[in-house]
Amino acid sequence: MGQNTFMHRFIPESDLTYKAKIFERLLSEMDNEGAKFASMVKNEMTHQSGEIVNKICTSIEEHNEKAKKAISEHQASMLALANQYDSVVNTMNEQLVTVYYEEEEKPLDLNKGKPPIWL
């Protein structure tokens, strides 16, 4: 009995990292909207003065920097997770297959396709 073992890919390998692009786009939009908000508040506060106004401006700047850092970390995480997801899915589409077969014994053709010679 013979056997043959090989890796078989059931579904062609595909790039699934595009799935993270949706989240990256949304995170970028959040970053842009946060920056717009901070800029708008700063512009409004430029005509004001006082201790509370200074604290508000400082607080908004700190919050905006923390948000930018968090968004950047989330974007990096999304890319890493998308690559990991891509790897896992493509690995699952592959499997080690072993085929067992029986070999038939064929009679040896000494005449090589010519009609048999009768003695």
Tens digit of each residue's pLDDT (9 = 90 or more) over 49-84? 888 888 988 898 999 999 999 999 999 999 899 989
The reported pLDDT for the residue numbered 116 is 66
Q: What is the DSSP string of 22-51?
A: HHHHHHHHHHHHHHHHHHHHHHHHTT--SH
Mean predicted lDDT score pLDDT of the chain: 86
**Contact between residue 4 and residue 97 where contact means Cβ atoms under 8 Å apart:** no
The three-point CA angle 42-48-50 to 5° equals: 105
Instruction: Please tell me the predicted confidence (pLDDT) of residue 102.
Output: 85
User: Whole-structure pTM over 0.75, yes or no?
Assistant: no
86 Cβ partners below 8 Å, 6+ apart? 15, 16, 17
Q: Cα 28 vs. chain centroid, distance in angstroms?
A: 18
